[in-house]
Structure 1
Amino acid sequence: MQTHEISKRFTEYFVANDHTKVASASLILEDPNLLFVNAGMVQFKPYFLGDAPAPYPRATSVQKCVRTGDIDEVGKTTRHNTFFQMAGNFSFGDYFKAGAIEHAWTLLTNSVADGGYGFDPDRLWATVYNDDDEALELWQKIAGLPLDRIQRRGGEDNYWDMGVPGPGGPCSEIYYDRGPEHGVDGGPEADEDRYLEIWNLVFMQDERGDLSPKKGHPPVGSLPRKNIDTGMGIERVAYLLQGVDNVYETDLVRPVISKAEEMSGRRYGAGNAVDDVRFRVIADHARSGMMIIADGVTPGNEARGYVLRRLLRRIVRSVRLLGVQEPVLGEFAKVVRDTMSPSYPDLASDFARIESVMRKEEETFLATLVSGSKIFDLAADKIKAEGRAMLPGDQAFQLHDTYGFPIDLTLEMAAEKGLSVDENGFRELMAQQRARAKADAASRKTGHGDQSVYRDLLSLGGTEFTGYTDLASESVIRGLVRDGKRVSAAAEGDIVEVVLDRTPLYAESGGQESDAGTITGEGVEMEVLDVQKIARKLWVHQVRVLSGEATEGQHVEATVDQEWRIGARQGHSGTHVVHAALRQVLGPTALQSGSYNKPGYLRLDFAWSGGLSEETKSEIEEVSNLAVRKDLPVRVVYTDMGGAQEMGAVALFGETYDEQVRVVEIGGPWSRELCGGTHVEHSSQIGPITLLGESSVGSGSRRLEAYVGMDAMRYLAKERALVQNLATMLKVPDVEVPARVEALIERLRGAEKELEKLRAGQLLASAGTLVDQAQDLDGTALVALKVPDGVGGNDLRSLASEVRNRLGSRPGVVALFSVVDGKVAFVVATTSTARDNGLAAGKLVPSFASAIDARGGGKPDLAQGGGANADGIGEAVNALRRALGGS
């Protein structure tokens, strides 16, 4: 049975049993605990937690997942994969253990003709949580499993949670006995290679705290309702039903290996275990990398981008170790597209962009690999020649920081040469470099806070948003919240959260800032500071009470600041226009990957490598303003996701959409995006759009910034005033300002060069005076002193060399010190006769280094460096004098 058919049968079975079919969520969701979606239940987490009411009592999905913890094990075994598909059925307070067990058993054991998978019931086993007698009895009653094919297991095996505070519960797993040729008797407890887990049924009833029940710690509470979360591994079922030994030989994975065989001339499974590992790495990472790119990630050096870069670079290196030198990622991308697109059509429709990202990363890495490998080989050969066995951490860090080598690549290359790597030293240097980024990540990586106060308010129904048509709404205060707790009233000066039954105030989302405005009622006035959405259904207004007292149940009027809304609409519609212009100029692969807009301002991040030329930026700006001048109509269409895709609407990466989606069109198909923001009615209402600049925000990602409306006019007015002031000062017409400024700069550069020549000449002319100050120390002439401040770098080295030359054939040592920007710069130079006497410049540095807190070194004839303690120069001179035999 083909993999696509396995997915189809799963979905069809559960839809026929009253489950709502839900599309796979993006691999990128706004969850601070996850880099990637790693389980089928992630998109349903708010329903399990009770943070939002489930829109359906039952659901089914086939969720794409990526787990990155086992990247290093991929290829070494046939069990570890980074990308996989998890088929699941979910119950939100509807059926529980009995229903979950019955559905799983029926689908697995029903005949193929009856829509099932046709597994032999006599080869299926079940496991249950230690004290879950109910599940054990249900397996006997519903499935007819004998007691000797049901095993009790502890929390590590049969308790499920996400590894962070959140939902969890005991689980029951279904295993398939592959037969005695695959291992020993005794069920899953004895051998999980022979007895392969294919389905996990989680009876989700608990809320775990910081400590997991998997480790024996009690849950912190119960979920509001008992739920079911099950997961069937599509790939595992595929290789059982296809009669192969592992996932790498199934219909969707083996073609990638076949392509690698074709390109390399080597064969998978031919007895070369090292090659087999490489083939498996290629197959796994090609699928994972392409699926991650499809959801909007680009290679980079942080977080998701780093994982993606690591996957793609491991493919390239594995292929090169198979003997293939030419670029390969584009070819593997075509294979993944052809095999996976029946289930994921965007792999075909968005292929040009995906392939472009992969090709550019490969080009970058191939250049990196050539230069970095030479550096590594030189370092490794030197280490082995010196009889050592470990690559120092600072060299591993240099390979990462300068040449872009991920540490795992350095580890692999070192292992191939029989060396280890000082990982602790490497990671210490990485920690120093990334301290701020890591601190930021740590501050955001939190569990699920106590949101029970909002659950209670959600039970009264979501907030009705009226802001698409109205700027003011009569409302009722449903709840007041301070410090996470309900309060009955708020007095003047208090800052509290207000939940209304209806509101015209836009809550921050989709890159758009929340509205400013007021909430007023009899005897009370509140200023709205911020508006956020809880569970996408509840509008929470943070307010400052300006006067009076607010109480629950009070009738109020919520009003949007009209000027703010005008600017906000301009900013958001302007973002759509610039995005459409960007795609028109650069092509359809230049997709928005993030945005932020507020009244008068927008910024837009997009997937692109390399900066934009001034001509390109001007063209984008012109296309944007032409769209404004054309007064294009703005239309809003409500439809389902399928309808939006048929319209060609652009969905933004990482966004989560409801069953009904809102499509915003500007000029019909020219700009058509899924969007919940507030917009103008005609493009001319946006006003002028002025690009401020374009910059990099990471590898493969660029950012455009612009002003719109009156802010654009004010910006242009300032620019005009600046040019006019310059024209007045330079006494030339406005149009001649650039040429005159350029001419002045050239004159200034010429003058600076002449001054530099004069200064250098004067400096070298002082060499004779310095030689006259030489001290004779036991036959060696020593010139050691502090020269004027500000002489550093090349100048100090040139002066030291000139003094050395003037010492002629005498044994001599020259040590010159200077203070530059509060730090010490020094150069030590030796004559050839001094070197013949064993005086090497580089070896003299340690004699005085501690006095000036110095770093540096060099060759026997010349050494240079810097120090932090300028007050120690005198002591450094004395220390060098003592080292040469002076007093």
Structure 2
Amino acid sequence: MQTADIRQRWLDFFAQRGHTVVPSASLVSDDPTLMFTVAGMVPFVPYLTGVVPAPFPRATSVQKCIRTNDIEEVGRTPRHGTFFQMNGNFSFGDYFKEGAIGYAWELLTSSESDGGYGFDERDLWVTVYKDDDEAIDLWKKIAGLPDERIQRLDKDTNYWSTGQPGPAGPCSEIFFDRGPAYGVDGGPATDDDRYVEIWNLVFMQYLIEDVRSKTDFRIVGELPKKNIDTGMGLERVAFLKQGVDNMYEIDQVRPVLDAAAELSGRRYGADHEDDVRMRVIADHVRSSLMLMSDGVAPSNEGRGYILRRLLRRSIRAMRLLGVDGPTFGTLFGASRDAMKAAYPEVEHDYGQISQLALGEEETFLRTLSAGTSILDLAVGSTKEAGSTALPGDTAFLLHDTYGFPIELTLEMADEAGLSVDRAAFDTLMAEQRSRAKADAKSKKKALADLSVYADLRAKGETVFTGYTDLTTESTVLGLLVGGRPVAVASAGQTAEVVLAETSLYAEAGGQAADQGLIVGDGYELKVLDVQKPVKGLISHTVEVVSGEVAAGDRATTLVDESYRRGATQAHSGTHVIHAALRQVLGPNAHQSGSFNKAGYLRLDFGWNSALSAETRSEIEEISNNAVRDNLEVVTREMPLAEAKELGAMALFGEKYGDTVRVVDIGGPWSRELCAGTHVRTSAEIGMINLIGESSVGSTNRRVESLVGLDAFRRFAAERALVSELTTNLKTPQDQLVDRVNELVQSLKTAEKRIAQYEARALGDRIPSIAEKAARVGQTRLVAEDLGELGSGDDLRMLATGVREKLGTDAAVVALTAVVKSRPVAIVATNPAAREQGLKAGALAKQMAGVLGGGGGGKDDLAQGGGQDVQAIPAALEAVRRAVA
């Protein structure tokens, strides 16, 4: 039975029994506490917990999921997959235990000809929570299961909760017995691979509080509405129904495995480690394909980092199979063909997906060889030094310079029999993050526990009036301070305010939230942020400027008209530039992200090379021609299918509902799905000034632009600058470029001469420094502080020059200097000194430790540095003692 057939039978079965079929949500979770959709029930959590009223009494879905916590088990067990599909059926206060158990048993054991899965009843076992006698009685009544095939287990396996106060309940799991060839007898309680869990039924019936752990909480009563949440592992059922040993051999995954085998010339089934590598490749390529189809792009942060790790682990596994060249074109094509029947979007978006994958592969293959060489040398040095842990600074270098995820370094070190100094690596990473600029969103506070919005959402959806009105009369539905509901918020406090209606735009679709005020009788609130914490609800983060605001008060929302005008100019400008990009570069220049606020926009798009000055100028001119032509901007709401038939562009990675808003600029010239605010005609954008173009990854570029008055002010500032230059240089404007180039060339010539004079001056110092050599045992040692120098290169030149001056007798040169306010140390040794065991790398590292930093290098020449200039004398004394 093919995987697509198993999927369709599930949906048909529950649809015929009154369940609303809900399409899979994106792998990118809406839950702010989750990076990905990790389980089939995640999209339904707001309904299961009562935060949002369920729009249907019962539902069913086949949900795409990603989990990476078991990534090390991928390929080594029959059932661990990074990407998997969870079949679910849900009841929201409708049927309960008897209905859930009845449906599960009927679907599993009905014959294939009757639309079921045709499992033999004798192969099925169930587990229940140890105190759930009701479920045990129902299994006996409905399924006729004997006592020996119903096992009672404790809370750690058979009790569900969110880990927070709220709904919880026992669960019952269904297992398939693969037979004695796969393990010991004894049922699921043995925790053996022989018994494969295929379905979990969660009976959400209690309210819990005082949650101290997964198994330690207090049940305070039964829920007024009891819910059902179930999940059946699609891949697990597929490998059982297809008669293969594991999920990597099912029809949706095996083609990638076979492609990896063919590319490598290795036979699947011939070698255990090779088999594991092929399974890893098959899983990770499919997972990456599905992540990219939902708009995730490789990066060094968040979801993009997880994707990059999967891609690079795949490349690494192919290299271990003996393939050094590119393979993603073949592997991703095989995965696309295996998945497109269930998910047509992977074929529709394959151009964008393959561009991302091939670009990442090309980039990593270039760095993998160099990084592997660095790692091999470090492994050799570590073993030679008698250590079992690779230094943390080596792991950081591989991560920072060569793009090695730390997990890859851990794996490669482990293959060499070493661990990694993870604490040192983490310290260096923390230091790097503290130096980096904070992300724009870091200023936003974490959203409160979403359960606090339940009562507010139950009062209905917030009506957004801001498309047509900048001022709206409304009512305060509720207030939160510090994430907790309050009756009143007073002057000086920061609070969240939820209104029945609002004209203030909540951040979405790349457009920043509106600025403005909320006012009422006796109070004024300054709007700091506007967000959508749960579907259908708009929350305003405000500073109470004066007075007191209370739930139930009348309120008026006032949008800052100037800010909104600038934001609409920027958002419409984004659409215009996107259309111009596609006109100049072609359809592959597809928007992959954007941000716009009053007067400014940035747009990321799929492209793998920098734009020339001529191309940028052409895009800017087309954009401004569209502004000049005063194109009409029309917005319409319509069903998603109708919008796509009209050719409206759905942006890669964005999520859309059944009804969408289509924005046309100049009719079909620019037609996109967009919920943002826009100008009425393109002329209102005013002006577009492209101010930057840069790389944001191997397959993505970014353009930045100012619009409206901000664009004009930039042009005016540049005009003033040109005027000042022509005056100061006494050069006509049309000759300005040549004159500046002439001055730059003169400056370079002068700098070259100065550098020659400085090098000669440094060389003149070598004899006097060498004269300070002191005899320490059989070694001549120079240990001197040279004061301030321009660069570490100057210090290195002096050290090697002094070493040459000292001749062939054993000699060590240890010099320090202050370079840009920080202490630097250089150690140079000659062959005779090294024969005595005096190695520059070890001596430099010792000096750097005294200076409060790190260092090392080769045996003949090494460098270190630190933070403490006052410690230079102690560092020189340390090297004297070491040589002695």
TM-score (norm 1): 0.89
Residues 1:317 and 2:292 aligned together: no
Structure 1 residues 178 and 750: alpha-carbon distance in aligned structure 2, compared to 1, 3 A threshold: same
Q: Give the stretch that moved more between structures: 748-757 or 765-774.
A: 765-774
CA contact (8 A) 2:790 2:820 kept: no
In structure 2, the residue matched to 1:424 is 422
**CA gap 1:600/1:64 in 2 versus in 1, 3 angstroms:** same
Q: 1:640 to 1:710 in 2, by over 3 A?
A: same
Tell me how far 1:350 sits from its aligned partner: 0.8
Deviations 1:221-256 (A, max 9, x none): 876732221111111111222222322222222222
Q: Does 1:649 align with 2:648?
A: yes
Note the C-alpha offset of 1:40.
Answer: 0.8
How is 1:231-630 mapped onto 2 (pairs within 5 angstroms)? 231-270=231-270, 272-381=271-380, 391-417=390-416, 419-424=417-422, 427-429=425-427, 431-433=429-431, 436=434, 449-451=448-450, 454-484=453-483, 487-488=486-487, 496-521=495-520, 525-544=524-543, 550-630=549-629
CA gap of 1:850–1:412, structure 2 versus 1, over 3 A, is closer
- Local SS of the residue matching 2:723: helix
Q: Counterpart of 2:82 in structure 1: which amino acid?
A: T
Distance 1:617 1:728 in 2: 29
Q: Deviations over 1:292-340 (max 9, x none)?
A: 1111222233332222222222222323333334321111111111111
Q: How many residues are treated as equivalent by the alignment?
A: 883
Identity %, equivalent residues: 55
Counterpart Cα distance in 1 of 2:488 and 2:254? 65
> 2:523 & 2:648 partners in 1: Cα distance?
44
Q: Distance in 1 between matches of 2:722 and 2:243?
A: 76
Moved more, 858-867 or 87-96: 858-867
- Tell me whether 1:56 sits opposite 2:56 in the alignment: yes
Tell me, yes or no, if structure 1 residue 665 matches structure 2 residue 699: no
Aligned-partner SS, 1:189:
helix
Counterpart residue identity of residue 690, structure 1: N
* 2:630 alignment partner, SS class: coil
1:139-196 Cα deviation digits (max 9, x unpaired): 2233333333322211222123456777543211122233343334432223543332
In the alignment, is the contact (CA less than 8 A) between 1:568 and 1:600 conserved in 2? Answer: yes
Cα offsets for 1:602-641 (capped at 9, x unmatched)? 2233454454443343333233223323333322232333
Q: Comparing 97-106 with 876-885, which one deviates more in the overlay?
A: 876-885
Distance in 1 of aligned mates of 2:635 and 2:712? 28
Q: Structure 1 219/662 Cα, relative in aligned 2: closer, same or farther at 3 Å?
A: farther
Cα shift at 1:402 = 3.3
AA paired with 2:107? L
Q: CA deviation at 1:857?
A: 6.3
Moved more, 1-10 or 780-789: 780-789
Structure 1's 823 and 185: CA in aligned 2 closer, same or farther, altered over 3 A?
closer
> CA, structure 1 residues 803+516, in 2 after alignment: closer, same or farther (shift >3 Å)?
closer
Aligned counterpart, 2:749:
750
Instruction: Write the distance in 1 (CA, Å) between the matches of 2:711 and 2:725.
Output: 21
| Contact 1:792 1:818 (8 Å CA) reproduced | no
After TM superposition, the structure 1 stretch with the greater mean CA deviation from structure 2, 740-749 or 857-866, is 857-866
Of 847-856 and 512-521, more deviation after overlay is shown by 847-856
> In structure 1, how many angstroms separate the alpha carbons of the residues matched to 2:435 and 2:796?
38
CA distance, structure 1, for counterparts of residue 836 and residue 410 of structure 2: 44
Q: Closer, same or farther in 2 for the Cα pair 1:61/1:834, shift >3 Å?
A: closer
Partner Cα distance (2:118, 2:38) in 1? 28
Residue in structure 1 matched with residue 86 of structure 2 by the alignment? 86
Q: How does 1:860-879 map to 2 (within 5 A)?
A: 865-866=864-865, 868-871=867-870
CA contact (8 A) 1:300 1:699 kept: no
- 1:147-186 equivalences in 2 (<5 Å): 147-161=147-161, 168-186=168-186
Distance in 2 between the 1:218 and 1:753 partners? 77
Secondary structure in 1 matching 2:26: coil
Correspondence list, 1:785-796, <5 A:
785-787=784-786, 789-790=788-789, 792-796=791-795
**Alpha-carbon distance change, 223 to 435 in structure 1, aligned in 2, over 3 angstroms:** farther
CA distance in 1, matches of 2:839, 2:558: 80
How far does the alpha carbon of each residue in 1:779-829 deviate from its partner, in whole angstroms, 9 at most, with x for none?
A: 998766554532553334444555566667898776654333333445566
Name which of structure 1's ranges 765-774 and 550-559 shifts more when overlaid on structure 2: 765-774
Q: CA deviation at 1:62?
A: 0.9
Residues 295/101 of structure 1: CA separation in 2 closer, same or farther (3 Å cut) = same
CA distance in 2, matches of 1:222, 1:563: 53
- The alpha-carbon distance between structure 1 residues 261 and 573, as it changes in their structure 2 partners (threshold 3 A), is same
1:426–1:645 CA distance, 2 compared to 1 (3 A): farther
Look up the SS of the partner of 1:538 in the other structure: coil
**Offset at residue 658 of structure 1 (A):** 3.2
Structure 1 pair 376–832 and aligned structure 2 pair: CA distance change class (3 A): closer
CA–CA separation in structure 1 for the residues paired with 2:341 and 2:57: 28
1:354 Cα deviation from its structure 2 partner: 1.0
For residues 75-94 of structure 1, the C-alpha deviation after alignment (integer angstroms, 9 at most, x for no partner) is: 12222111111111112222
CA contact (8 A) 2:359 2:698 kept: no
State the alpha-carbon separation in 2 of the partners of residues 660 and 145 from structure 1: 47
What is the RMSD of the two structures over their aligned residues, measured on CA atoms? 3.8
Q: Which runs of 5+ in 2 are unaligned?
A: none
Structure 1 counterpart SS, 2:760: helix
Which deviates more from structure 2 when the two are superposed, residues 363-372 or residues 580-589? 580-589
**Aligned partner of residue 724 in structure 1, secondary structure:** helix
**Structure 1 residues without counterparts, runs of 5 or longer:** none
- CA displacement at 1:348 relative to structure 2: 0.5
Q: Which moved more, 1:664-673 or 1:38-47?
A: 664-673
Q: Which amino acid counterpart does residue 818 of structure 2 have in structure 1?
A: V
The CA deviation at 1:421 is 2.1
Q: CA deviation at 1:772?
A: 6.9
SS at 2:401's partner residue? helix
Aligned residue for 1:196, secondary structure, equals strand
Q: Would the aligned equivalents of 1:607 and 1:700 in 2 still touch at CA under 8 Å?
A: yes
1-structure distance, mates of 2:556, 2:444: 37
Would you say the 8 A contact 2:845–2:855 is kept in 1?
no
Aligned mates of 1:386, 1:776 — CA distance in 2: 28
Alignment of 1:709-724 (within 5 A): 709-724=708-723
Instruction: Indicate if the aligned counterparts of 1:48 and 1:223 stay in contact, CA closer than 8 A.
Output: no
Q: Distance in 2 between matches of 1:523 and 1:512?
A: 32
| Structure-1 separation of matches of 2:614 and 2:597 | 27
Matched residue type, 1:726: L
1-side partners of 2:869 and 2:472: how far apart?
69
Equivalent residue for 1:132?
A: 132
Relative to structure 1, the CA distance from residue 164 to residue 752 in structure 2 (aligned partners, 3 Å threshold; closer, same or farther) is farther
Match of 1:10 in 2: 10
| Displacement after TM superposition at 1:439 (Å) | 13
Which has the larger displacement, 131-140 or 822-831?
A: 822-831
In structure 2, C-alpha distance between the alignment counterparts of 1:258 and 1:813, rounded to whole Å = 59
Aligned residue type for 1:96 = F
Q: Which residue of 1 aligns with 2:822?
A: 823
